[in-house]
Chains A and B, each alone.
Chain A
Amino acid sequence: MFRTYRREVPQKLAETPEAVVAGKKVYEKRCWYCHGIEGKGDGPAAVTMFPKPRNFTRNEYKVRSTAFGSVPTDEDLFRIITSGIEGTAMPFWSTISETERWQVLYYVKTFNEQFKKDAPPKVIPVGSVPSTPESIQRGQELFKEMKCYECHGEDGRGNGPLTVALQTEWNLPYRARDLSKGWNFKGGNTIEDIYRTISTGFNETPMGSYLEKLSDEDRWHVAHYVKSLAKDMASDVVVKVKLFEGEELPSEPLDENWSNASAVEIPLAGQILVSPRHWAPTIDAIQVRALYNSNEIAFLLEWDDATNRQEEIFRDAVSLQFPTKIPESLKKPYFAMGDSSGSVNLWSWKAYWQEGFGAVVEAPENEQGVVSELNAKGFKNVTVQPPESQNVTGKGIYQKGRWKAVLKRTLNTEDVKGDIQFEIGKLIPVAFAVWDGSNSDVNGQKSVSSWYYVSLEKPVPKTVFVYVLIALIMGASVEMWFIARLRRFPPKLEEQQE
Chain B
Amino acid sequence: MANKRNTFLLIWVITAVGCLYGFLKYASPKIFQMLMAKDHPMPTPSTLMMWYMIMGVLAGLVYATTSNQKFIDFLSFLLPGHGPFIKSFLQKILFVGFPLLVGWFVYTWAIPGAASPVELRIQHPTLPQDFEKLENPFRQADADTQRKCIEEGKILFQTYCRPCHGSKADGNGPFANSFRLRPINFQDPGTIATVVDNYLFWRIKEGGPGLPSESTPWDSAMPSWKDDLKDDDVWKIIMGEYDTAGVMPRQREKLE
* Docked complex Cα distance between A48 and B72 (Å): 73
| Nearest CB in chain B: distance from A386 CB, A | 27
* Contact B174 A342, beta carbon cutoff 8 Å: no
How many A residues, CB 8 Å from partner?
72
What chain B residues lie within 8 Å of A254 (beta carbons)?
none
* Docked complex Cα distance between A277 and B106 (Å): 51
What chain B residues lie within 8 Å of A417 (beta carbons)?
none
- Evaluate whether A272 and B223 lie within 8 angstroms (CB atoms) in the complex, with A89-B162, A467-B106, A472-B102 already known: yes
* Docked complex Cα distance between A333 and B159 (Å): 29
Chain B, residue nearest A473 (CB)? B99
B-contacting residues, A29-86, CB 8 Å: 30, 33-34, 43-45, 47-48
Interface segment among B129-137, B188-196, B214-222, B247-255: the answer is: B214-222
* Contact A342 B218, beta carbon cutoff 8 Å: yes
- Evaluate whether A33 and B181 lie within 8 angstroms (CB atoms) in the complex, with A2-B39, A240-B114, A335-B219 already known: no
* Docked complex Cα distance between A274 and B228 (Å): 9
- A95 at the B interface (CB under 8 A): yes
Interface segment among B14-22, B43-51, B52-60, B164-172: the answer is: B164-172
What chain B residues lie within 8 Å of A474 (beta carbons)?
102
What chain B residues lie within 8 Å of A461 (beta carbons)?
112
Chain A, residue nearest B225 (CB)? A275
* Docked complex Cα distance between A467 and B102 (Å): 11
- A269 at the B interface (CB under 8 A): yes
A-contacting residues, B39-84, CB 8 Å: 39, 68-69, 71-72, 75-76, 78-80
What chain A residues lie within 8 Å of B177 (beta carbons)?
1, 267
What chain A residues lie within 8 Å of B168 (beta carbons)?
30, 91, 93, 95
The residue in A30, A93, A452 that gathers the most chain B C-beta atoms within 10 A of its C-beta is A30
What chain A residues lie within 8 Å of B3 (beta carbons)?
none
- A451 at the B interface (CB under 8 A): yes
| Nearest CB in chain B: distance from A46 CB, A | 9
Type the 1/0 row for B142-180, where 1 means its CB is closer than 8 Å to any CB of A: 000000000000110011101110111010111111111
* Contact B167 A33, beta carbon cutoff 8 Å: yes
- B100 at the A interface (CB under 8 A): yes
Chain B, residue nearest A329 (CB)? B213
Type the 1/0 row for B92-136, where 1 means its CB is closer than 8 Å to any CB of A: 000100111111011100111011110110000000000000000
Contact residue among A89, A237, A464 (Cβ-Cβ distance under 8 Å from B167):
A89
- Evaluate whether A275 and B227 lie within 8 angstroms (CB atoms) in the complex, with A89-B162, A267-B178, A270-B175 already known: yes
* Contact B112 A333, beta carbon cutoff 8 Å: no
Contact residue among B99, B110, B158, B224 (Cβ-Cβ distance under 8 Å from A472):
B99
* Docked complex Cα distance between A1 and B40 (Å): 9
* Docked complex Cα distance between A474 and B117 (Å): 32
* Contact A491 B72, beta carbon cutoff 8 Å: yes
* Contact B68 A494, beta carbon cutoff 8 Å: yes
| Nearest CB in chain B: distance from A156 CB, A | 22
* Contact B103 A468, beta carbon cutoff 8 Å: yes
What chain B residues lie within 8 Å of A1 (beta carbons)?
39, 172, 176-177
What chain B residues lie within 8 Å of A45 (beta carbons)?
155, 158-159, 162
Chain B, residue nearest A456 (CB)? B114
Chain B, residue nearest A332 (CB)? B218
| Nearest CB in chain A: distance from B148 CB, A | 14
Interface segment among A362-370, A407-415, A479-487: the answer is: A479-487
- Evaluate whether A269 and B175 lie within 8 angstroms (CB atoms) in the complex, with A330-B119, A493-B69 already known: yes
* Contact A237 B158, beta carbon cutoff 8 Å: no
* Contact A471 B105, beta carbon cutoff 8 Å: yes
Contact residue among B95, B115, B162 (Cβ-Cβ distance under 8 Å from A479):
B95
* Docked complex Cα distance between A469 and B76 (Å): 29
What chain A residues lie within 8 Å of B101 (beta carbons)?
475
Chain B, residue nearest A447 (CB)? B178
* Contact B154 A33, beta carbon cutoff 8 Å: yes
* Docked complex Cα distance between A289 and B55 (Å): 41
| Nearest CB in chain B: distance from A301 CB, A | 17
Chain A, residue nearest B244 (CB)? A30
* Docked complex Cα distance between A471 and B105 (Å): 9
* Contact B102 A471, beta carbon cutoff 8 Å: yes
* Contact A464 B166, beta carbon cutoff 8 Å: no
A-contacting residues, B186-239, CB 8 Å: 207-209, 213, 216-219, 221, 223-224, 227-228
- Evaluate whether A269 and B102 lie within 8 angstroms (CB atoms) in the complex, with A279-B163, A494-B68 already known: no
- B37 at the A interface (CB under 8 A): yes
Chain B, residue nearest A479 (CB)? B98
* Docked complex Cα distance between A335 and B223 (Å): 12
- B5 at the A interface (CB under 8 A): no
* Chain B contact residues, CB within 8 Å of chain A: 37-39, 68-69, 71-72, 75-76, 78-80, 95, 98-103, 105-107, 110-112, 114-117, 119-120, 154-155, 158-160, 162-164, 166-168, 170, 172-181, 207-209, 213, 216-219, 221, 223-224, 227-228
**25 A-B pairs whose Cβ atoms sit less than 8 Å apart in the complex:** A1-B39, A45-B155, A48-B159, A88-B174, A89-B173, A273-B207, A273-B224, A277-B223, A332-B218, A334-B217, A427-B114, A449-B178, A450-B221, A452-B180, A458-B112, A464-B111, A467-B110, A468-B103, A468-B110, A472-B99, A473-B99, A475-B99, A487-B80, A493-B68, A494-B68
Closest 4 CB pairs of A and B: A475-B102, A269-B178, A475-B99, A455-B114
If A2-B37, A88-B174, A476-B99 are given as contacts, then 15 extra A-B residue pairs at C-beta distance below 8 Å, sorted by A number, are: A1-B39, A33-B154, A33-B155, A33-B159, A33-B162, A44-B155, A89-B162, A270-B175, A284-B178, A342-B218, A450-B181, A451-B218, A464-B107, A468-B103, A468-B106
